Chain A
Amino acid sequence: MFEIFQFDFMIRAFVAGAVIALIAPMIGIFLVVRRYSLMADTLAHVSLAGVAVGLLTKMNPLVTGIITPVIAAFCIEKLRSARNISGESLLALFLSGSLAIAIVLLSIAKGFNASLFSFLFGSISTVMPNDLYLIVGLGILVLGTILALYKELFAVSFDDELARASGISAQVFNLILTVLAAITVSLAMRIVGVLLIGALMVIPVIAAIQFGRSFRQTLLLSIAFSSLSVFLGLFLSFYLDLASGGTIVVIALIIFLLSLLRQTLKKTFLIKVQNGF
């Protein structure tokens, strides 16, 4: 029926997409509620510097793209707790700093080509069989860690200081969350692209917040929204020959706009009811 599933590379893209659709909002929700949405974007840019290292040293760019943001995650958390630099400025520093490093390394590697383009904007045809094992394996690790530490991550995200006062080591859980975000960002890089991963982690969550009646429900809804965006995005990018990352994020954006529209309509309707219409 669907010729799309006759291609191995598309099946790989869908499997990798499913993993990413599941874990991106699970990490994203914790970043959004702590007003740390820019973290995903920052780690994505650091990951690009890792990709550049990979292209330069002829190592697998996916592997180097995972290692660098994990190291950066450690540095960001360390600097945030030890130095007098605000979290927001740190993210800005790492975001633009690592982009600069990536550009320099790519110039040296003469890496401004189609392959770089697919890392930036995402591509459905680039998930190799070996990549798939890495994506599924690390995806399960991220998922398992979030499920196992859910109540602690929730408590720390709600109020860092209250969590610490009750004996939860907020610093450790902040670090774990940042490392999980770093891994997720690098896994999503192939399909969504460096420049758009942040959007996939954040937009489905803020759309879900418009509907959610509890944290749990918001989380489940954001997974549903991100899955819808990824699957529909992959279909459309195959049939219409569009870059997958952009297509996925545009669909997420449409879902967000619809959620806003619904909220506005609901409010207007309620006001009319109150005024006796």
Chain B
Amino acid sequence: MTTSPVCIEVKNVSFSYNGLPVLTNINFSVKEGEYVGIIGPNGGGKTTLLRIILGLLKPTSGEVLIFGQNVQSFKDRFLIGYVPQRTAEAGLHFPATVEEIVRTGRTARVGLLKRFKKEDLAAVQRAMEIADVTDYKNHLIGHLSGGQRQRVFIARALVGDPKILILDEPTTGVDILSQEKFYTFLRNLNHQMGLTVIVVSHDIGIVIDEVSTVLCLNRTLVCQGPPNEFLKDEYVEKLYSKKVKFLIHKH
């Protein structure tokens, strides 16, 4: 792990919204193949940080480098697969099939004025198989259950053959059993396919059980390191300003 090259570098990033600081001086880097969990209280800036890493928001100061290039000018953004919040409720009224939706994740990679080629269509089938949505590829997205819809968004994120997968609160609105399955699935993507995974979650118990690195965010980076490091009381108190007990899931 220590020899893996760095794929994401967040350098002195600060972000203010209407003059109010949301993030202050964030510094960290993610190596290829790492599995990172970002945790912290609501309003701590987790989603804002993700949006800055994805290039959707410009930081007030500092910069984010993806494979050594500033994300704002980074051309191959499809190398980052992104699964946004609340996918279980997304696309309910959109009149398109699962396959049509999954294809949108490949659009940027195919390029302007070009059609989907054989290899792109094969990638679409592959992504649907990995996310286990092939059985209902011709169903309208609105006719699926929340858990199924969420997997469609995973397939969509994987179809561009990304190197990095970023997920924002992926298990919101999904029952516990599906949650456990979901994290097993993520672990496999990380271990077997070597995908760099960054997951934002409020479910601290599951996250610290799964990931290789924890980032604790509450407007500043309170701590970063392996999960066992995070369980020290000083960090928990610093992050949540009070004593919190964690329920650790064992597999």
Contact = CB atoms under 8 A, between A and B. Distances in A.
Interface string B51-74: 000111000000000000000000
B90 interface: yes
A165 B80 contact: yes
Interface string B77-120: 11010101000001101111100110111011110110010000
B140 interface: yes
Interface in A143-187: 148-149, 151-152, 154-155, 158-159, 161-168
A166 B97 contact: no
Interface of B: 54-56, 75-78, 80, 82, 84, 90-91, 93-97, 100-101, 103-105, 107-110, 112-113, 116, 138, 140, 156, 160
A216 to B, nearest CB: 7
Given A214-B100, A214-B140, 5 more contacts: A154-B104, A158-B96, A162-B105, A167-B76, A215-B94
A215 B96 contact: yes
A166 B105 contact: yes
Complex A-B, nearest 10 residue pairs according to Cβ-Cβ distance, in ascending order: A167-B77, A215-B96, A155-B104, A167-B108, A166-B108, A155-B107, A214-B97, A165-B82, A165-B54, A218-B95
Contacts of A33: 93-95
B95 A161 contact: no
B100 A216 contact: yes
Contact of B95 (A148, A151, A152, A215): A215
A161 to B, nearest CB: 6
A213 B138 contact: yes
Binding site secondary structure of chain B = loop
A151 B110 contact: yes
Contact of A159 (B90, B97, B108, B116): B90
A216 B138 CA distance: 12
B72 to A, nearest CB: 12
Contacts of B82: 162, 165-166
A109 to B, nearest CB: 43
Nearest to B77: A167
B104 A163 contact: yes
A155 B109 CA distance: 12
Interface residues of A, number: 24
Nearest to A33: B94
A162 B84 contact: yes
B94 A166 contact: no
A212 B97 CA distance: 10
Interface in A13-43: 33
27 contacts: A33-B94, A149-B113, A151-B104, A151-B107, A151-B116, A154-B96, A155-B108, A158-B91, A158-B96, A158-B104, A162-B82, A162-B84, A163-B107, A164-B56, A165-B54, A165-B55, A165-B77, A166-B78, A166-B109, A166-B160, A167-B75, A167-B76, A167-B77, A168-B107, A168-B108, A213-B97, A215-B96
B40 to A, nearest CB: 21
A214 B105 contact: no
Nearest to B139: A213
A159 B100 CA distance: 13
B156 A162 contact: yes
Contacts of A164: 55-56
A161 B55 CA distance: 11
B158 to A, nearest CB: 12
A158 B94 contact: yes
Interface string A204-235: 00000100111110100000000000000000
Contacts of A159: 84, 90-91, 104
A166 B77 contact: yes
Given A168-B108, A213-B140, A215-B95, A148 B100 contact: no
Nearest to B54: A165
A260 B32 CA distance: 53
